[in-house]
Structure 1
Amino acid sequence: MRLPEALYTAAQVRELDRLAIEERRIPGAKLMQRAGAAAFELLRTRWPQARRVAVLCGTGNNGGDGYVMARLARAAGLTVNVLSLGAVEKMRGDAAAARKQCKSAGVAIRNFQTDLLAGHDIIIDAMLGTGLEREVEGEWRAAIEAINASRIPVLAVDVPSGLNADTGHVMGAAVRADATMSFIGLKAGLFTGAGREHAGEIFFNDLNVPPDIYAGVPALVRRLTETSLHGLMPGRRRDMHKGDAGHVLVIGGDRGMPGAARLAGEAAYRAGAGLVMLATHPEHAAHISTACPELIVHGVATPEELRPLLARADVIAAGPGLGQGAWGDALFGAALDTKLPMVVDADALNTLATDPLMHADWILTPHPGEAARMLGMTTEQIQADRFAAVRELNASFGGVCVLKGAGTLIASLYDGVVSVCDRGNPGMASGGMGDVLTGVIAGLRAQGLISPVAARLGVWLHAMAGDDVAASGEIGMLASDLFPHIRGRLNRLVRHAGG
């Protein structure tokens, strides 16, 4: 099944589950049977050669799903060992019934011990599920650490044990799964922060919950998908000229940092801007012009020299290579005096961290370290709950906020929507990638897209271009490698929208 766009908290999924059971009279036991069957089908599809299966079961409904899987695996002729954790005598309801049925089917059930994992072809993690609210400890932590040390492939049921389903934060220790099968509603924590690393490939099954049930539980956040972005970028008229495609002014490139401004400027062109000007330090203006002749490069020493360029611009991209000295502060201050929409990144964000202010029409693009400085927090606190952090940034600074990282988040005061981009890859952890994103978003904004749309589309294009480059390997990727793929992805979106 194709992954839905809607993402939910654990509490919201429990509410969906409750509505299905109480209002649609779908027995909880039937939902558990469907969950176990769906996860077992994935096991057979993804690991068809697996013959020896270890199923680690907790005492809740997540464990119940695991017991169903174990019974089905036994019926299919596989060698199955269930390793039980927690106080079995406290099991109740559907989970207890699933355990009893599993035992009656002849499945071996033993208390968990670390050495019992050896010799299996695959491990099923059905220990903790979505209800985890404190750090794991005791036998649970020992089991998680043993799984991760085993180097045996892991299929997680609903969420990897130890991962906070709402935030993607590791609660002391978390299973590193090769794949996760999520049920009824996708859990938001799987798609950002550490969730991206621990969930592996994500699969989904709605367990045949009626579609109208979802209307009563608004999603926490939505995934960016190609389908959701269709039609946002209009096709071009045959008679348009460069003025119709917008003018971007990039402000940046202090002494020793010309590359950042150049990358942002070229990225704005690749995203379709009609004209891109660079206001950079006079020391290297001529060099940038030679390296990229399409850019209109101005050596600017003072705010007074910047003002004529501001008068010609439709959008400002401030921050790439701006530095934190007097030159950069003065130019950024002049930009703030205008009413122009802005994309703000890098050193301009550090300036905001020391002198916060609100702006109605800007797009801020901090990485977690910059976000921490802006909110007076630590990077660890930002990463512990990225959803809360991006909302706080948005509330504190206005406009649109893009919190970069694994599972980039976009929050907007325009429409109150939070979006997550689950594309992109570790190869993009190299210098200049943020400058390219700044330029792409600015180029889209200059063409008339409103700020939240420009931010969402820009983040997705940037991430997808990175994945296109990574098709030949993640290591050694350069920010400039993305340029042809940004252009290609954008043009395919336009063609699809028109077709």
Structure 2
Amino acid sequence: MHSPFPLYAPDQLRELEARGIASCGGDAFALMARAGLAAWHCVLKHWSRARRILVVCGPGNNGGDGYVLARHALSSGIRVQVLRLDAHAPRTPLARRAHDAFIASGGQVACVGGELGDADLLVDALFGIGLSRAPDDSVSALIEAMSRHPAPVLALDVPSGIDARSGDAPGAAVVADRTLQFIARHRGLRTGAALDHAGDLQLASLDLPATVFDGIDPAAFALRADALPGFFPLRPRDSHKGRNGHVLCIGGDHGSGGAILLAADAALRSGAGLLSVATRAEHVPALLARRPEAMVHGVDDAAQLAPLLSRAGVIAIGPGLGQGDWGRGLLDLVLANDAPGVVDADALNLLASSGQRLRAQDVATPHPGEAARLLGIPAHDVQRDRFAAAQALHERLGCTVVLKGAGSIIASPDRAPTVICAGNPGMAVGGMGDVLTGVIAALLAQGMPAGDAAIAGALLHAAAGDAAAREDGERGLLPSDLLPWLRRLANPMRR
């Protein structure tokens, strides 16, 4: 069983570095020496057959780490070449000291003049966490030359060009096969554009004492699929359907019955004890034929919905709801109800147009487009800083929010954001969000608080997508492919 692991923002990492230097007796170069040696050990572990290494160094301390790595490679008999731009002569005292030690060991530094030359491995030691803007033209050209090179890339601390705070790539950015983070894990490498640039992530703690973290609360937490057992203990032997909650799924306007069926299926496969569906009458026969365990009701207006709301413990509204008068009327009635709910899809678009808020007990699950409409900003601004967008959505709606996408982020009251380190590109298909709606609703119905249900539901959903993709691949993955895996992964203790 694994717990969430902490993530830190750049300002916190700088404070941790300062404390780390203090723990080394105030010798900043001793900490740089540890970082460079850790990078060399990473090379030995993952690229032991590399005989030609190019280390691309920037002007700051990230470049200094690269010079230290290059010195270790040189002393081991590896053919190593340090490259830099004309403007990137070492600027900090530490970088100059590392540079001079490399030169004194017989190393050579060349200025980049085009293509990089032959190598079995490239090391990106350009900027680390020190860059949060788009690189200038000369740096962009160097990054593009690295991208064209056939050798694998090891990035030190952060792939250059990636904002370690947000995960954004405001311009050209290194695409690494592996990124070695120093001291602590970086928040920005777990979501958004960074996921296409960081490659496999590895941490070098540099042997610092745990006390350097005292009083520094993580900027976020992250969860992998191996944390699922902590959310799903064995049920008591005397369980009954009433104890496992009653979910009412509302949606499926004309022509959109499949969306609410997916949500209903997911709620049942995630453990809801009872499941009702309120949808257009035309969808009732198909829903009953597909899912006889559901209690399906044709609903023409809000008046017909009211008695169903009185019997349900949790509401899931939005999949296939539409944005017409029918959907608006049903949503208004749900918002006047006291039961907790999961709000998704067209229900969120209706909220965006009305300015209405949700309740603290609710969970909203927008994708970036829906998030943009709720916040009144372009979708690319949502993606540019997904952490800030998730927090803004939480404040705008007044409830727990799951900002879906690569590295889904959960923002909820009184806790740091949580990032889901699971899921895959095959899940970028219509209907996946409907499945997530049903999953979270089922967990709410089984007694999880909203924040826990959102985190556990997003993790279960993403892990099920990964498990399904491992069977037959990502391309062509369907939301319904996740359903059997939801059941299997929600029962880890029995497995």
Match of 1:70 in 2: 70
Sort the Cα spacing of 1:316 and 1:28 in 2 relative to 1 into closer, same or farther, 3 A: same
Summarize deviations over 1:141-178 as a string: whole Å, max 9, x none.
11111111223211110000000000001121111111
Summarize deviations over 1:312-345 as a string: whole Å, max 9, x none.
1010000011111111111111111101101000
Q: CA deviation at 1:74?
A: 1.5
Q: CA deviation at 1:49?
A: 2.4
CA distance in structure 2 between the partners assigned to 1:261 and 1:35 by the alignment: 52
How is 1:19-30 mapped onto 2 (pairs within 5 angstroms)?
Answer: 19-22=19-22, 25=25, 27-30=27-30
Summarize deviations over 1:339-398 as a string: whole Å, max 9, x none.
110100000000010112232211000011100000000011111111111111101111
- Is 1:91 aligned with 2:69? no
Match of 1:300 in 2: 299
Q: CA deviation at 1:233?
A: 3.1
Tell me if the contact between 1:56 and 1:82 (Cα under 8 Å) persists in the aligned partners: yes
CA distance in structure 1 between the partners assigned to 2:204 and 2:342 by the alignment: 39
- 1:376 maps to a residue whose letter is G
After superposition, the CA RMSD in angstroms is 1.7
CA distance in structure 2 between the partners assigned to 1:335 and 1:205 by the alignment: 50
Summarize deviations over 1:182-206 as a string: whole Å, max 9, x none.
0101111100110111101111011
CA distance in structure 1 between the partners assigned to 2:321 and 2:389 by the alignment: 25
- 2:140 maps to a residue whose letter is R
- 1:298 maps to a residue whose letter is H
Match of 2:242 in 1: 243
User: Which segment is superposed worse, 166-175 or 105-114?
Assistant: 105-114
Summarize deviations over 1:100-151 as a string: whole Å, max 9, x none.
1111122221012222x23211110000110113221132111111111223
Sort the Cα spacing of 1:303 and 1:463 in 2 relative to 1 into closer, same or farther, 3 A: same
CA distance in structure 1 between the partners assigned to 2:376 and 2:330 by the alignment: 25
Match of 1:121 in 2: 120
How is 1:358-377 mapped onto 2 (pairs within 5 angstroms)?
Answer: 358=357, 359-377=359-377
- Is 1:484 aligned with 2:491? no
Tell me if the contact between 2:4 and 2:227 (Cα under 8 Å) persists in the aligned partners: no
User: Which segment is superposed worse, 146-155 or 440-449?
Assistant: 146-155
Tell me if the contact between 1:253 and 1:260 (Cα under 8 Å) persists in the aligned partners: yes
Match of 2:198 in 1: 199
Sort the Cα spacing of 1:4 and 1:441 in 2 relative to 1 into closer, same or farther, 3 A: closer
- 1:271 maps to a residue whose letter is S
Tell me if the contact between 1:59 and 1:86 (Cα under 8 Å) persists in the aligned partners: no
Match of 1:259 in 2: 258
Summarize deviations over 1:238-282 as a string: whole Å, max 9, x none.
222111100000001111111110110010111110011111111
CA distance in structure 1 between the partners assigned to 2:215 and 2:23 by the alignment: 12
Tell me if the contact between 1:5 and 1:225 (Cα under 8 Å) persists in the aligned partners: no
Sort the Cα spacing of 1:26 and 1:270 in 2 relative to 1 into closer, same or farther, 3 A: farther
Q: For 1:156, what is the secondary structure of its paired residue?
A: strand
CA distance in structure 1 between the partners assigned to 2:467 and 2:481 by the alignment: 10
Match of 2:210 in 1: 211
Q: For 2:179, what is the secondary structure of its paired residue?
A: strand
CA distance in structure 2 between the partners assigned to 1:343 and 1:87 by the alignment: 54
- Is 1:353 aligned with 2:352? yes
Tell me if the contact between 2:3 and 2:223 (Cα under 8 Å) persists in the aligned partners: no
Q: For 1:114, what is the secondary structure of its paired residue?
A: coil
Q: For 1:420, what is the secondary structure of its paired residue?
A: strand
Sort the Cα spacing of 1:45 and 1:4 in 2 relative to 1 into closer, same or farther, 3 A: farther
CA distance in structure 1 between the partners assigned to 2:41 and 2:469 by the alignment: 30
Tell me if the contact between 1:188 and 1:221 (Cα under 8 Å) persists in the aligned partners: yes
CA distance in structure 2 between the partners assigned to 1:202 and 1:4 by the alignment: 16
Q: For 2:81, what is the secondary structure of its paired residue?
A: strand
Q: For 2:30, what is the secondary structure of its paired residue?
A: helix
CA distance in structure 1 between the partners assigned to 2:293 and 2:114 by the alignment: 62
- 1:299 maps to a residue whose letter is G
User: Which segment is superposed worse, 43-52 or 298-307?
Assistant: 43-52
Q: CA deviation at 1:90?
A: 5.3
Query: TM-score, structure 1 length as denominator?
Result: 0.95
Q: CA deviation at 1:46?
A: 1.7
Match of 1:152 in 2: 151
CA distance in structure 2 between the partners assigned to 1:81 and 1:489 by the alignment: 48
- Is 1:447 aligned with 2:449? no
CA distance in structure 2 between the partners assigned to 1:77 and 1:89 by the alignment: 25
Q: For 1:216, what is the secondary structure of its paired residue?
A: coil
Match of 2:112 in 1: 112
The unaligned stretches of length 5 or more in structure 2 are: none
Sort the Cα spacing of 1:3 and 1:55 in 2 relative to 1 into closer, same or farther, 3 A: farther
- Is 1:389 aligned with 2:389? yes
CA distance in structure 2 between the partners assigned to 1:48 and 1:463 by the alignment: 34
Match of 1:180 in 2: 179
How many residues align? The count is 492
Tell me if the contact between 1:85 and 1:127 (Cα under 8 Å) persists in the aligned partners: no
Sort the Cα spacing of 1:66 and 1:37 in 2 relative to 1 into closer, same or farther, 3 A: same
Q: CA deviation at 1:229?
A: 5.2
CA distance in structure 2 between the partners assigned to 1:211 and 1:3 by the alignment: 17
Q: For 2:48, what is the secondary structure of its paired residue?
A: coil
Tell me if the contact between 1:191 and 1:420 (Cα under 8 Å) persists in the aligned partners: yes
CA distance in structure 2 between the partners assigned to 1:231 and 1:125 by the alignment: 38
- 2:183 maps to a residue whose letter is I
Tell me if the contact between 1:3 and 1:204 (Cα under 8 Å) persists in the aligned partners: no
Query: TM-score, structure 2 length as denominator?
Result: 0.96
- Is 1:325 aligned with 2:324? yes
Q: For 2:127, what is the secondary structure of its paired residue?
A: coil
Match of 2:271 in 1: 272
CA distance in structure 2 between the partners assigned to 1:222 and 1:277 by the alignment: 35
The unaligned stretches of length 5 or more in structure 1 are: none
Summarize deviations over 1:41-68 as a string: whole Å, max 9, x none.
2222222222211110001110011111
- 1:323 maps to a residue whose letter is G
Tell me if the contact between 2:250 and 2:277 (Cα under 8 Å) persists in the aligned partners: yes
Q: CA deviation at 1:26?
A: 5.5
CA distance in structure 2 between the partners assigned to 1:130 and 1:339 by the alignment: 46
Match of 1:334 in 2: 333
- 2:379 maps to a residue whose letter is T
Sort the Cα spacing of 1:73 and 1:263 in 2 relative to 1 into closer, same or farther, 3 A: same
